[in-house]
Amino acid sequence: MEQNLGFESNELIDRLPPHLKQFIKPQNYEDYTPINQAVWRYVMRKNVSYLSKYAHHSYLDGLKKTGIEIDTIPSMYGMNRILKEIGWAAVSVDGFIPPNAFMEFQAYKVLVIASDIRQLENIEYTPAPDIIHEAAGHAPIIANPDYAEYLRRLGEVGAKAILSKYDIDLYEAVRRLSILKEAEVTDQQELKAAEEEVFRLQQMEVELSEMAQIRNLQWWTVEYGLVDTLDDPKIYGAGLLSSIGESKWCMSDEVKKIPYSIDAIEQSFDITQPQPQLYVSPDFSYLMQVLEEFANKLSLRKGGSKGVQKLIDSQMVGTIELSTGLQVSGKFSRVLLNEDREVIFFKTDGPTALAYRERELIGHGIETHKDGFSSPLGKLKNISLAIEDMGPVDLKAYNFYDGKWLSFEFESGIKVKGLNITGIRNLQGKLMLIQLKDCTVTYKDEVLFRPEYGVFDMVVGKEIVSAFAGAADYNSFPNLYNVSKTLTVKPQKSEELSLLESYYETVRNIREKKLHDQAQLKNILEKVKTSYPKEWLLPLEILELTKDETLYNELTDYLKDLAASHPALKALILEGLEMI
């Protein structure tokens, strides 16, 4: 038990890296109010009734397999005990988290659940992530093995997709707007400013980053995906499974159905509006085929100068991997290219770490390279063999062994002079790093490294074979992601709200304990009608419980009148009456 985090751990949560654990928050189950429980119950009853016909067949069985009940908001304790049986776990977080972090949680087979729940006023849909969306939407379908593997693999690829500064700005703006929209009391000028900022960013014409593209894939599959045939699709996307309105809307002819393909990476979306088109995949295994097709386009698999430039543009910690297997992680700031657009020199600023096969090299962490790292790349001039391909005889012939002064020039024109101290080899015995003392590195008229800078660590590698977001060894950067300073707003309770909550609590107790206190139900109804003229959910709950025919008829008429006089509540009330 991890008492400090407030959740029951398991092996999957235990192995999460520190930079992900910093996002985990206690669920604080006692903070859920009787109104919150009623909101959960209404949405779940309505959704299960409808989705039993229109959701993928995994949905209903998945609710049971993931520990989600219709009448009660799920506890993370209970969910984790059950999720463990299908190889997954769940953790609570505070609203939206950075996109790379979200993806990385998925890669570790951990569901990220925003434990707050939407307000009654936003019962049909909220732009803020909440426990209805996360638990009731995402969790059930992962009971399907094919879908669960797709979700894990999507996270694995997405965690390494390179994002841009624009992505971070948009994430922060959307997070702020979602929090303000869900807050009980919001300054309207502040809300308007937040809406305008999101609109401004969305209207900007920017090239889609790798993260933006995979976010589109996530949206059109995990969040808003349909599966099966175009004529008779089934719902599996969490955004549809958790939205009363959109789960019905999406089945209408007004929503265009498109065969799912890699083209979805270019299709943008607006989280505040119903989706005008949706993608239909023939089955879950096809999702993996498209993902693999997309992954082949990423810098993760292509490397090269474009990959390094994307890392520079991101202004975040990223990693390049060289042909020798050596990995360099840090904030890349500069790259020099030859006429063939090949990288001949790169530089990082600030803390940098070197690794091999995702393990930091001893003595080459961020403490050693706290001010950055730089190195030339490529082949040597007039020498057909690359350094990494030289055998012992070749290395000796060109003075590449310890204690020898070296002076050589790369094909690019970069010159290196210094005393060879030692080298580090990979598992195949090839040199992947050479340390030089009293070293000078020059390119044309520029000095790239001076002896007074200290020991020069020169990487060995002909080319960059991979470039990806994040660190090669997660232990190198314990604070890899920044936690947003914009926090969710906790509701302030008025006396009026506290009194209404007490009425909800009483009705809930009557239902759970199977009491038959008709007089108390009638008394609560009269108080609600007098003091809360727009209250509709509690009268519905009373109607469900009453055994008194007179009270039943009175309530039915009252709710129909309420629906007629308040158009915004009409569909909710009539659907509630239909359920009962």
Assign 210 a pLDDT band (cuts: 50, 70, 90): very high
Quote the CA–CA distance of 483 and 425 in Å, as a whole number.
37
Q: Read off the pLDDT of each residue in 407-414 and give the average, rounded to a whole number.
A: 94
219 residue type, one letter: W
Q: Examine the pLDDT at 493 and tell me if it is beyond 80.
A: no
Quote the CA–CA distance of 125 and 249 in Å, as a whole number.
12
Q: Examine the pLDDT at 572 and tell me if it is beyond 70.
A: yes
Q: Read off the pLDDT of each residue in 155-162 and give the average, rounded to a whole number.
A: 97
Antiparallel, parallel or unpaired: β 256-259 and 277-281:
parallel
Q: Read off the pLDDT of each residue in 202-209 and give the average, rounded to a whole number.
A: 90
Which three-class secondary structure string do you get for 69-115? CCCCCCCHHHHHHHHHHHCCEEEEECCCCCHHHHHHHHHCCEEEEEC
Quote the CA–CA distance of 451 and 371 in Å, as a whole number.
16
Q: Which stretches does DSSP call E strand in 426-463?
A: 431-443, 446-449, 456-459
Q: Examine the pLDDT at 2 and tell me if it is beyond 60.
A: no
CB 460 within 8 A of CB 416: no
Antiparallel, parallel or unpaired: β 343-356 and 359-360:
antiparallel
Q: Examine the pLDDT at 502 and tell me if it is beyond 90.
A: yes
Q: Read off the pLDDT of each residue in 476-505 and give the average, rounded to a whole number.
A: 84
Q: Examine the pLDDT at 376 and tell me if it is beyond 60.
A: yes
Q: Examine the pLDDT at 4 and tell me if it is beyond 60.
A: no
CB 34 within 8 A of CB 501: yes
Q: Read off the pLDDT of each residue in 286-314 and give the average, rounded to a whole number.
A: 97
For residue 542, the surrounding DSSP H or E stretch is helix 537-545
Q: Examine the pLDDT at 391 and tell me if it is beyond 50.
A: yes
Q: Read off the pLDDT of each residue in 242-269 and give the average, rounded to a whole number.
A: 91
- For the segment(s) 305-476, the CATH number from 3.30.1480.10, 3.40.50.2020, 3.40.50.2300, 2.30.30.100 is 2.30.30.100
Q: Which architecture does CATH list for 11-164+206-292? A: Orthogonal Bundle (1.10)
Q: Examine the pLDDT at 339 and tell me if it is beyond 90.
A: yes
Structure tokens at 449: 């490294």
Residues 6 or more apart from 321 whose CB is under 8 A from it? 303, 327, 464, 465, 466, 467, 472
- pTM of the predicted protein model: 0.88
Q: Examine the pLDDT at 125 and tell me if it is beyond 80.
A: no
CB 297 within 8 A of CB 318: no
Q: Read off the pLDDT of each residue in 131-136 and give the average, rounded to a whole number.
A: 88
Bigger pLDDT: 272 or 520?
Answer: 520
Q: Read off the pLDDT of each residue in 364-387 and give the average, rounded to a whole number.
A: 93
**pLDDT value for 520:** 93
Least confident segment among 185-189, 295-299, 382-386, 391-395? 185-189
Q: Which residues pair with 466 in a beta bridge?
A: 321
**pLDDT value for 397:** 82
Q: State pLDDT tens for residues 57-113.
A: 999 889 888 888 999 999 988 888 888 888 999 999 988 888 899 999 999 999 999
Bigger pLDDT: 284 or 187?
Answer: 284
47 residue type, one letter: N
**pLDDT value for 271:** 72
CB 402 within 8 A of CB 422: yes
**pLDDT value for 7:** 56
Residues 6 or more apart from 211 whose CB is under 8 A from it? 99, 100, 158, 161, 162, 163, 164, 167, 469
Domain ranges for the chain, please list them: 11-164+206-292, 165-205, 305-476, 495-579
Q: Examine the pLDDT at 459 and tell me if it is beyond 90.
A: yes
Residues 6 or more apart from 418 whose CB is under 8 A from it? 405, 406, 436, 437, 438, 439, 440, 451, 456
Quote the CA–CA distance of 6 and 545 in Å, as a whole number.
36
Alpha carbon of 310 to those of 330, 332, 447: distances in Å?
13, 9, 25
- Domains 11-164+206-292 and 305-476 agree in fold: no
What percent of the chain has a predicted confidence (pLDDT) above 70? 97
Which three-class secondary structure string do you get for 330-380? EEEEEEEECCCCCEEEEEEEEEEEEEECCEECCCCCCCCECCEEEEECCCE
CB 237 within 8 A of CB 269: no
Q: Examine the pLDDT at 1 and tell me if it is beyond 60.
A: no
Dihedral sign, Cα of residue 551, residue 552, residue 555, residue 561: negative
CB atoms within 10 A of CB 40: 26
Residues 6 or more apart from 62 whose CB is under 8 A from it? 139, 140, 141, 142, 143, 144
CB atoms within 10 A of CB 239: 22
Q: Read off the pLDDT of each residue in 435-453 and give the average, rounded to a whole number.
A: 97
**pLDDT value for 539:** 97
Assign 187 a pLDDT band (cuts: 50, 70, 90): confident
**pLDDT value for 491:** 66
**pLDDT value for 184:** 64
**pLDDT value for 185:** 67
Residues 6 or more apart from 260 whose CB is under 8 A from it? 220, 221, 225, 279, 280, 281, 282, 286, 287, 290
Assign 6 a pLDDT band (cuts: 50, 70, 90): low
Structure tokens at 123: 């019962």
Mean pLDDT of the chain: 91
Across 494-512, b (16+ Cβ under 10 Å) vs e yields: eeeeeebbebbebbbebee
